[in-house]
Chain A
Amino acid sequence: MKDKNTTYNSKRTSQSVAFWIFRFFSMLVVAILFLILSFIIYKGIGVINWDFITKMPENGMTEGGILPAIIGTLCLVGGSILFAFPIGVLSGIYVNEYAKNGWFIRFVRMMTNNLAGIPSIVFGRFGMALFVNYFKFGTSIIAGSLTLGLMVLPIVIRTTEEALKSIDDSFRHGSYALGASKLETIRRVTLPMAFPNIVTGLVLSIGRVSGETAPILFTAAAYFLPKLPSSITDPVMALPYHLYVLSTSGTDLEASRSMAYGTALVLVVMVLFVNLLANALRKFFSKKVKMN
């Protein structure tokens, strides 16, 4: 009897110990996020004001605003979305709905996964070699957008694929049995059902694109431009690149520190916003699907 009790107790103790360690680690992770966010918010909040967002930088980057960087980021994000969304969604549809389960489709899937794993700097150089040099676009919005678009393409494809995969086949079969063709079934049944998840994925990839630095280092970004870009063949400033330069090699590191904080805060706010939006959309759509 006593033996059984001691085994039981020691089992329980080791479980409590283990679980408490896990709890601690989880809190640690939350604490890390909290630390990073609050640090940036605390340091940067003083810098943010209307001027900061709407003015051009002045005085060697130590004063003024970061308007061109904001606009640049918006241009790049817009361009890459334009490229990656249609192609990515169409590709996801093809891979999940059309291709037979042969070696070809496994190969394509593997390629997509590989593309997703390629480091951002390799994309940057590939973009430079292909768009800037070979196609002779030069350092420009279009080169940067295409590079970013390529980078985010596998994410869009994967999200679309997952969304389509999660729809039970019985719906497709029901549609076929009524004489609908494959395309019609996709258009009328599968795609509308997958729509919420696809949109969520799209929103998240927007967040991803706006924060990337390495791909635009050599394809689009310039440190200081006196005026805003006027065509897609112009180089632009961008928020992440701006932050990078401000904190590592600006002309006067200490003085531009405050600008750096402000830029970091703007970036973080963008990410927070995008995440919240994606979550809200997810909740909104899932309610809608249940209703209707």
Chain B
Amino acid sequence: MYKIEAKDVNLYYGDFHALKGISMSMKPNTVTALIGPSGCGKSTFLRTLNRMNDLIESVKITGLVTVDGEDIYRKNINIDELRKHVGMVFQKPNPFPKSIFENVAYGLRVNGENNRSFIEDKVKESLVQAALWEEVKDKLKKSAFELSGGQQQRLCIARALAISPSVLLMDEPASALDPISTAKIEELIYELKTNYTIVIVTHNMQQAGRVSDHTAFFYMGDLIEYGETKKVFTNPDHTQTQNYITGRFG
């Protein structure tokens, strides 16, 4: 039914109550945008979906988060497996200091894949999906750092896609890029929707409007409003949402 479900999720950084009782559900093959002013908790919430918050000390989480119906905070869960199913792309492109090919192949190798032709096929497939193949097919062995910022970010997307996740989490993927690269990435997201469930955090409301099916508005750790993008942007239920969208604050 639902791909991802969150029920009454609370998160504390030490004493700071960063997420206050968040509940929302996302259907498969949809794009959900998380919007809100800086520090409202949207990135934090995104990171609870693949347990990247575990890397921060003094973090405490309560509530239920399920992916494909399974509680991802249960005791014996294999976190590495979880992260293979729920992939992530970061705000600032962070390719490894390796070749383009090796960057994309990294996830496969790390998960025990040894078959050379399988890897080659997967790398090509991922780069095609990320709309980067044409630009790099002749220089796969070159360093990833030789690519432009926008290309590097698409490389990171390809890298995440290579391990065949079913969910893709994107934390402000275009905020560090120029307008043209941003447009390319937005196009990409729209195409990826057919095969993946995407949750994207963004500062850019026009982007949210362009790209997503559903939008969630966060403010100071609370989930104020969650609904179809069209509705949230044109006829929101809450005044706060209205104020944020029309630019009165944030």
Task: Pick from A30-38, A177-185, A215-223 the stretch touching chain B.
Answer: A177-185
Across the interface, do A180 and B110 meet the contact criterion of CB distance under 8 Å? Answer: yes
Asked if residues B96 and A177 are in contact (CB atoms below 8 Å), the reply is no
* B87 and A177 contacting across the interface, CB-CB below 8 Å: yes
Q: Contact check: which of A101, A170, A178, A181 meets B87 at CB < 8 Å?
A: A178
Give per-residue flags for A256-272: 1 if the beta carbon is below 8 A from chain B beta carbons, else 0. 00000000000000000
Q: Interface readout for B95-135 with A: 1 if CB under 8 Å, 0 if not?
A: 11111000000110111000000000000000000000000
- Closest CB in chain A relative to B101 CB, distance in Å: 12
Cα(A69)–Cα(B17), bound, Å: 67
A176-B52, A177-B83 are known contacts. Are A171 and B94 too (CB-CB below 8 A)? yes
Number of B positions contacting A (CB below 8 A): 30
Query: Quick check: B143 and A179 within 8 Å, CB to CB?
Result: no
Give the residue name and chain of the B residue nearest to A177 (CB).
B88
CA A39 to CA B95, docked complex, whole Å? 52
Say what secondary structure dominates the interface of chain A: helix
Residues of A within 8 A of B163 (CB): 178-179
Instruction: Report B27-59 residues with CB < 8 Å from chain A CB.
Output: 50, 52, 55, 57
In the complex, whether A28 has a CB less than 8 A from a CB of chain B is no
| Per-residue B-contact encoding for A177-202, CB less than 8 Å = 1, 0 else | 11111001000110011000000000
Of chain A, the residue at the smallest CB distance from B99 is: A292
Residue contact A173 to B90, C-beta cutoff 8 Å = yes
Q: Give every chain A residue within 8 A of B50 (Cβ-Cβ).
A: 177
Measured in the bound complex, the distance between the Cα atoms of B88 and A174 in whole Å is 8
Query: Which of A170, A174, A176, A193 has the most B CB atoms < 10 Å from its CB?
Result: A174
A143 to chain B, nearest CB (A): 43
Q: Which residue of A lies closest to B110 (CB)?
A: A180
Q: How many residues of A contact B (CB 8 A)?
A: 23
Q: Give A169 Cβ to nearest chain B Cβ, in Å.
A: 8
| A23 at the B interface (CB under 8 A) | no
Partner pick for A188 among B55, B82, B106, B159, CB 8 A cutoff = B106
Is B111 a contact of A179 with CB atoms below 8 Å?
yes
Cβ A178 vs Cβ B107 within 8 A:
yes
Q: How far is the CB of A168 from chain B (nearest CB, A)?
A: 8
- By beta carbon, the residue of chain A nearest B169 is A177
A178 contacts B94, C-beta separation under 8 Å: no
Interface residues of A in 144-172 (CB under 8 A from B): 168, 170-171
B160 contact set on A, CB distance < 8 A: 177-178
* A18 on the B face (CB < 8 A): no
CA distance A100 to B58 in the complex (A): 11
Say if the beta carbon of A175 comes within 8 Å of chain B.
yes
Q: How far is the CB of A97 from chain B (nearest CB, A)?
A: 12
Whether A289 is near chain B, meaning CB under 8 Å from some CB there, is: yes
Is B3 an interface residue when CB atoms closer than 8 A count as contact? no
Known: A178-B110, A180-B80, A180-B106. 10 other contacts (CB 8 A): A100-B57, A101-B57, A170-B92, A173-B52, A176-B55, A177-B83, A177-B88, A177-B90, A177-B160, A192-B97
- Pairs A–B under 8 Å by Cβ, sample size 27: A101-B57, A168-B94, A170-B90, A170-B92, A173-B90, A173-B94, A174-B96, A174-B156, A174-B159, A175-B110, A176-B52, A176-B55, A177-B87, A177-B88, A178-B87, A179-B80, A179-B81, A179-B83, A179-B107, A179-B110, A179-B163, A180-B107, A188-B109, A193-B97, A291-B143, A292-B99, A292-B143
Q: When A and B form their complex, which 3 residue pairs have the shortest distance between CB atoms, in order from nearest? A: A177-B88, A179-B84, A178-B107
